[in-house]
Amino acid sequence: MTLKLAEGAVTAVSAYLSTNFGAKVTALNAEYADTVVLTVPAKFAITEILETDAYPMVEILCDRTTTHGIAGDYIGTSHDITIICTVLDDSDVGEEKANLRKRVYRYARAIVELCRSAQATGGFSDGGTPAASYQVQLMEDLIDFSPAVRRKGTSLVIAACGVHIQMQIQEAG
């Protein structure tokens, strides 16, 4: 197996989230049963998306990788990952604008609950052969919410949340 380091980590998170987000959104919509409806993100990306018309979208970015425990063909790494969900509100209805923040909070909850689920079941897998297993440590005190931003001259409003997790892996080189 070749070292995948940060790329392997963000790919594993992206695959897990894209596979499991639909069921989580369905469960949250049923639990709240109100007018604030979540949809499955239109895009999961492992890079910054500079221009898109696909909302909501999820970006999975590695902020930092630390290597430790290098022994023979094995290397231990820790990856600080930020999962960003960006939500667009293009309605002109005041009540819908007020619900944008609730949707962002609920997407953050969905991400945290999915990461907890991955943590409880042994982590993320990159699907490779042999599969690398990424253990997750949630840093729940690091959930950020951006202020809503209105695009000048339009009714478009964008807001986002960022959930920070730390992943650990031991890879064979």
CA 84 and chain centroid, separation: 5
pTM: 0.84
Short-list 163, 127, 162, CA closest to 146: 162
Report the mean per-residue pLDDT for the chain: 80
Please give the angle made by the CA atoms of 137, 6 and 67, to the nearest 5 degrees: 75
Q: Which of 8-12, 17-21, 23-27, 33-37 has the lowest mean pLDDT?
A: 8-12
Domain 5-172 belongs in CATH node 3.30.2000: yes
To the nearest whole percent, how much of the chain has pLDDT over 70? 75
Backbone angles phi, psi at 21, to 5 degrees: -65, -35
User: What tokens does 62 get?
Assistant: 């590695």
pLDDT tens, residue by residue, 24-44 = 999 999 999 998 899 999 889
Q: Which of 2-6, 130-134, 153-157 has the lowest mean pLDDT?
A: 130-134
DSSP string, 60-92: EEEEEEEEEEEETTEEEEEEEEEEEEEEEE---
User: What was the pLDDT predicted at 60?
Assistant: 92
Q: Please, are residues 158 and 98 in contact by the beta-carbon 8 Å criterion?
A: no
Which positions ≥6 away from 116 have C-beta within 8 Å?
A: 138
Residue spans of the domains in the chain: they are 5-172
pLDDT tens, residue by residue, 74-132 = 777 888 888 999 888 766 555 566 688 888 899 999 998 998 888 777 666 656 544 55
